[in-house]
Chains A and B, each alone.
Chain A
Amino acid sequence: MVDMSSFAEAGADLELVGIQKRFPGFTAIEHLDLKIPAGSFFALLGPSGCGKTTTLRLVAGLEDPSTGKILIGGRDVTALKPHKRPVNTVFQSYALFPHMSVLENVAFGLRRRRIGDPVAKAHEALRLVELDHVADRKPAQLSGGQQQRVALARAVVNRPALLLLDEPLGALDLKLRRQMQQELKQIQQEVGLTFLHVTHDQEEAMTMADTVAVMNKGRIEQMGAPEELYELPRTVFVANFLGQSNLFEVEVAGTTDQAVQTALANGARITVPRSRSERDSGQITVGVRPEKLRLHVQEPTADASINVIGPGRITDVSFIGVSTQYTVEVPGAGAVQVFAQNVEAGPAAHLGDQVWLSWLAEHTFGLADDRLETGALTADFSTQAIAAQAAFAGDGE
Chain B
Amino acid sequence: MTLYLATFALLLLSLAANRQKTIKALKTGTMMFLNLLPAFLSILMLVAVVLTLIGPETIRDWLGSNSGSMAYVVAAVTGSIALIPGLVAYPMSGMLVDNGVTYPVIAVFITTLMMVGIVTLPLEKKFFGIKIAVARNALNFAGALVIGLTMALVWNLL
User: Do chains A and B stick together as partners?
Assistant: no
